[in-house]
């Protein structure tokens, strides 16, 4: 159950009070200029509300003072954007009228209710009040002293009520339009897709490096050859350095939304990847056809990660077996095929995030991915359409 006095301790109550009083300054200036036309600000609010920039200014101010907890959030209930349609403009006009009415009520209460409390206290201590009706209506001084806090309580209750009404009106009249909601949803979807892509990049790159390091460290531990141990440590160092470079690329894309995707690894660097696998003990039989440097950027980057994950799975689950790698660049597609015989005591891949990531990468490009056992071999075969090469 909500405590009735909780709003009095909430900072938003007083930021909303400030929001209610801001238009009073405009009204006061106008009253000073022309006391006979106090209604004129309501008339001037119509052409002002039709200006696109006014909706932006009102939205920013409402977010800051009415709903400070939502400020800067993509799903904020109050939009901070210029008007893009006539419906937005007329909603802004309606909001300005509502705001002026609430500001009038809040401003009147802020001035006269504390003044009433002051008069009640003054009369209770033998001073004459400025409002004579108090003495006529109340009479006894003790009664004035008893009722002195009442106007302040009414003021606080009225401010809380007007703040709630102003917030509800702002959400209704300054809330995101259907087009803005659609834009926000598209932006959120793009962010989720980007995070998913970054997660795959980190999984593939760091997973490959750790697998190579574990394999090399295990082999060095059981080897009595100082030369082999030195080579293993050199491979671990080189693989770790490459993984750090890949990590820096991914984090750069994460930190800088305008970072070029061309800084990511591509199929042109497949040789480095294959040498790393060889140095880790894999017996590779590699066949390449076609020009890797002519692949479209997206296909080249995703193909590199798919090849990396395939080799990582071989090192992790079937270390030491011969591996056939076929990379074919054709007119309309890139084909990657990694085949290795299953070991005597196979540790069959369980279809975890690695294989799922391969299938997701292929599906995003409209390609096909197949992974499974066939006649004693484990085969990963991926076909990615290139549309046009050259």
Residues 6+ apart with CB under 8 A from 272: 242
Residues of the chain with pLDDT under 70: 1-5, 29-39, 74, 126-140, 179-195, 197-198, 200-201, 204-205, 208, 249-264, 318-320, 343-353, 388-390
CB 290 within 8 A of CB 328: yes
Phi then psi dihedrals of residue 12, to 5 deg: -65, -25
User: How many Cα atoms are found within 13 Å in the side-chain-facing hemisphere of 73?
Assistant: 11
Residue 380 to residues 18, 155, 359, 369, Cα–Cα distance (Å):
65, 74, 10, 7
Measure the CA–CA gap between 312 and 209, rounded to whole angstroms.
Answer: 8
Task: Write the DSSP string, 36-89.
Answer: T-TTHHHHHHHHHHTSHHHHHHHHHHHHHHT-GGGTT-TT-SS--S---SHHHH
∠ at Cα 273 (269, 279), nearest 5°? 140
Question: Residue 139 pairs with which residues in a beta bridge?
Answer: none
What are the tokens at 162?
Answer: 């007007």
Question: Residue 72 pairs with which residues in a beta bridge?
Answer: none
Q: Which of 27, 26, 30, 78 is nearest to 57 (CA)?
A: 78
Q: Which of 81, 84, 82, 80 is nearest to 63 (CA)?
A: 80
The order of strands in the sheet holding 283-289 is 283-289, 322-329, 333-341, 377-385, 368-374
* Strand 322-329 relative to strand 283-289, pairing: parallel
What are the tokens at 317?
Answer: 């689950």
Give the pLDDT score at 351.
46
CB atoms within 10 A of CB 34: 9
Give the pLDDT score at 259.
47
CB atoms within 10 A of CB 286: 14
Measure the CA–CA gap between 297 and 262, rounded to whole angstroms.
Answer: 7
Q: Which of 160, 162, 113, 171 is nearest to 10 (CA)?
A: 160
pTM for the model: 0.49
Measure the CA–CA gap between 240 and 217, rounded to whole angstroms.
Answer: 13
Q: Kindly provide the residue ranges of all beta strands, DSSP E only, lying in the chain, ordered along the sequence.
A: 283-289, 322-329, 333-341, 368-374, 377-385
Give the pLDDT score at 169.
93
Measure the CA–CA gap between 171 and 340, rounded to whole angstroms.
Answer: 61
Residue 171 to residues 58, 62, 127, 206, Cα–Cα distance (Å):
12, 9, 47, 46
Q: At what angle do helices 86-124 and 11-33 cross, to 10 degrees?
A: 90
- 221-257 burial: b if 16+ Cβ within 10 Å, else e: eeeeeeeebebbeebbebbeebbeebeebbeebeeee
Measure the CA–CA gap between 250 and 205, rounded to whole angstroms.
Answer: 10
Residues 6+ apart with CB under 8 A from 324: 285, 287, 337, 338, 339, 340
CB 386 within 8 A of CB 332: yes
For tokens 């008069």, the residue is: 119
């Amino acid at each position: 159950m909500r405590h009735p006095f909780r709003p009095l301790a909430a900072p938003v109550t007083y930021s909303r009070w400030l929001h209610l009083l801001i238009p009073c300054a405009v009204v006061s200036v106008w009253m000073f200029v022309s006391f006979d036309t106090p209604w004129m600000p309501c008339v001037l609010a119509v052409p002002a509300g039709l200006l696109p920039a006014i909706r932006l200014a009102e939205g920013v101010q409402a977010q800051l003072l009415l709903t400070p907890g939502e400020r800067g959030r993509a799903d904020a209930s109050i939009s901070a954007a210029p008007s893009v349609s006539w419906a937005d403009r007329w909603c802004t006009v309606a909001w300005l009228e509502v705001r002026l009415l609430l500001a009038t009520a809040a401003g009147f209460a802020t001035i006269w209710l504390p003044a009433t409390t002051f008069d009640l206290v003054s009369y209770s201590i033998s001073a004459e009040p400025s409002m004579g009706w108090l003495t006529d209506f109340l009479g006894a001084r003790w009664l004035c002293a008893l009722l002195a806090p009442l106007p302040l309580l009414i003021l606080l209750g009225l401010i809380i009520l007007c703040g709630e009404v102003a917030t509800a009106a702002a959400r209704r009249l300054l809330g995101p339009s259907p087009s803005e909601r659609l834009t926000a949803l598209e932006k959120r979807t793009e962010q989720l897709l980007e995070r998913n892509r970054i997660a795959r990049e980190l999984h593939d790159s760091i997973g490959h490096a750790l697998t190579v390091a574990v394999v090399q460290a295990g082999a060095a531990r059981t080897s009595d050859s100082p030369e082999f141990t030195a080579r293993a440590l050199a491979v671990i160092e080189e693989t770790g350095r490459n993984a750090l470079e890949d990590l820096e690329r991914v984090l750069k894309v994460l930190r800088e939304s305008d970072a070029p995707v061309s800084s990511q690894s591509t199929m042109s660097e497949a040789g480095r990847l294959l040498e790393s696998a060889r140095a880790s003990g894999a017996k590779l039989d590699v066949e390449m056809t076609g020009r890797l440097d002519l692949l479209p950027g997206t296909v080249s980057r995703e193909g590199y990660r798919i090849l990396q994950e395939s080799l990582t799975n071989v090192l992790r689950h079937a270390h030491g077996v011969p591996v056939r790698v076929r990379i074919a660049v054709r007119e309309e597609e890139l084909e990657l095929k990694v085949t290795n015989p299953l070991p005597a005591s196979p540790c069959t891949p369980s279809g975890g995030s690695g294989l799922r990531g391969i299938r997701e990468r292929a599906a995003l490009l409209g390609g096909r991915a197949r992974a499974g056992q066939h006649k004693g071999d484990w085969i990963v075969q991926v076909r990615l359409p290139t549309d046009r090469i050259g």
